[in-house]
Amino acid sequence: MNPNHAFWPRPTLRFVAVWRRNLRVWRKLMMPSLLGNFGEPVLYLLAFGYGFGRLVGDLDGMSYMVFIASGIICSSAMFTASFEGMYSAYTRMAEQNTWLAMLATPLTLDDIVFAEAIWAATKGLISAGAILIVASLLGLVSDLRALLALPVVFLAAFTFGSLALVITAFSRSYDFFLYYFTLAVTPMLLLSGVFFPLNELPEWVQAMALALPLAHVVEVVRPLMTGAWPTQVGWHLGVVAVYGILALIAATFLIRRRLIQ
Amino acid sequence: MIPEPAENVLKAIAIRGLRKFYDHHAVVDGIDLTIPAGEFFGLLGPNGAGKTTTLRMLLGLTPIDAGTVHVLGRPMPECEREISSRLGVVPQFDTLDPDFTVEENLLTYASYFGLSRAALGNRIDELLEQANLENRRGSRISALSGGMKRRLTLARALINEPELVILDEPTTGLDPQARHHLWRQLRALRKRGVTLVLTTHYMEEAEELCDRVAIIDAGRIIACASPAELIAAHVEPWVISLNAASARRFIADPATLPARMLEIADTWLIYTHEPGAVRAELDTAGLPHATRASNLEDVFLKLTGHDLRD
């Protein structure tokens, strides 16, 4: 067995070079990218918050606007990281052969896949951070505890980015990603307490939602945004982290099987 | 680290019993090959002969099923990272970063080797000058011609001052001017003591550049020597070519000619040690013909046959 191709990913600090390459490209296209990552969620926030909020009134002891702001921070991290791990990573893997060029250098596939997951996490963090700024300008954030939501969002975006890379490993075209969005991302968005509280749903749906990572992210982020301490933090973040680590292992294994053959 | 046997140290590449199977079919079927440091080596063969798979195994892009590979004295794949840091690669397909300018491409690629702008010094200027791209520093990749992209790809492969450069069909699709410019750069590298390994479908390119070539077919090396040695060993020194259809009207049986005949498409190639006798016969029959010295392409066709490979 080739020691460099062991089952477990063994990324090294060299991954930073790949991460910085992606950052450099992003900086060139920053304006349209930021607008997409953050303009759309802000529109949702304003439209739902103001439009719907009046009908709904208070939810779980907070205004609907506050409720939805904390949810949208989580969902935008999920969407941004998923997009990055699918469409953008696929472009680098299959269209531009960026990874192939990297593999001719001292970078290994483990470094590259890890860097892509961390980069997806970074993009998720950027868009969640931008929304957090807007939310605090609108007075939707209680206190400095909200800043603690950022590392949580980073972990969540790492997990969603890694899951997206698993899908990318199987993908033969961009169209394939629609399956994942329709069958996984959108159901998670609707059933994880982003737009309405989970406890309104039948118990079996709640159980299903809690088997997926997004609901756990929302459970931790929402209290932090509204001036409370979340409970069962270890359990919630543990679920997210386990998803992320398993997805990274699977993505590295599958992408290696695809490219190194 | 396991100490390497001294015999591997001065060899840029040492391959023993290399094999690769896809679906129980051997694509590389027992290759032994030694390339000394400083040599310009050509790997030739029809499509599907196993050239690219062999190169991919050298680079760690394909797992080795059997045999051993040493590159720059270090074993693959155990020392893949160290080997990669001392190697330059010009891949068959364009892998330049379209989001970056010419200079950014070099800087970014250097960062994959852990080389910062400060560590590079004026290396980027030198490489751009050698590649005739010093005025294109800020150009986007999409604005470059095919020849410029190839030159940039070679410049990029040299960013880490490699001891060995591997080029997979570097001149495919280039016009003659661009090809000659690339040849000049490759010769300059050879002069500086860099080992070069090249695959190509252009036999005149291999003959022009390479100290030694190996011809691969069906996953095995079927001949390996200098181009001149291969020509002397495998084909007659002269080739006379003529139109097959008109030739057939006058010469019923080519076996009667004092020469060996090969029919490719609608041309007869007549290989001979004594072109005078054959030409006299063709002149008598009134057949137009042309004579040239035999070359590596004739060796290639003789050894690999002339059936189409798809």
Which DSSP string corresponds to A132-150?
HHHHHHTT---SGGGGGHH
Is some CB atom of chain B closer than 8 A to the CB atom of A259?
Answer: yes
Judge contact between B86 and B15, C-beta under 8 A: no
pLDDT tens readout for residues B3-42: 555 554 489 999 999 999 998 899 999 999 999 999 999 9
The C-alpha angle B97, B102, B103, rounded to 5 degrees, equals: 110
- The answer to whether position B194 is within a domain reads no
Specify the pLDDT at position A245: 97
B245-264: average pLDDT? 73
- The answer to whether position B287 is within a domain reads yes
Pairing state between β B11-22 and A62-63: unpaired
| Distance (Å, whole) CA B102 – CA B152 | 7
A112: nearest CA partner in chain B: B112
Task: Give one DSSP letter per residue of B172-209, joined into a string.
Answer: TT--HHHHHHHHHHHHHHHHTT-EEEEE-S-HHHHHHH
Residues present in chain A in total: 261
Strand segments (E) across B117-178: 164-168
Judge contact between B167 and B90, C-beta under 8 A: yes
- The answer to whether position B250 is within a domain reads yes
Tokens coding B69: 């590979």
Is some CB atom of chain B closer than 8 A to the CB atom of A97?
Answer: yes
- The answer to whether position B243 is within a domain reads yes
Total-model pTM = 0.91
Strand segments (E) across B244-299: 260-264, 267-272, 290-293
Q: Which residues of chain A have pLDDT under 70?
A: 1-6
- The answer to whether position B261 is within a domain reads yes
Domain count, chain B: 1
Is some CB atom of chain A closer than 8 A to the CB atom of B81?
Answer: yes
Tokens coding A156: 């969540």
Contacts of A18 in chain B (CB under 8 A): 112
Is some CB atom of chain A closer than 8 A to the CB atom of B161?
Answer: no
| Distance (Å, whole) CA A110 – CA A4 | 9
Range of the domain at B262: 236-293
- The answer to whether position B189 is within a domain reads no
- DSSP H or E segment with residue B16: strand B11-22
- The answer to whether position B225 is within a domain reads no
Specify the pLDDT at position B260: 80
Assign residue B248 the CATH number of its domain: 3.30.70
| B69: confidence class by pLDDT, cuts 50, 70, 90 | very high
- The answer to whether position B27 is within a domain reads no
Specify the pLDDT at position A232: 92
Specify the pLDDT at position A54: 77
pLDDT tens readout for residues B180-201: 999 999 999 999 999 999 999 9
Specify the pLDDT at position A6: 62
Find all residues with CB under 8 Å of B294, minimum gap 6, and list them. B231, B235, B236, B237, B238, B239, B271
| B79: confidence class by pLDDT, cuts 50, 70, 90 | very high
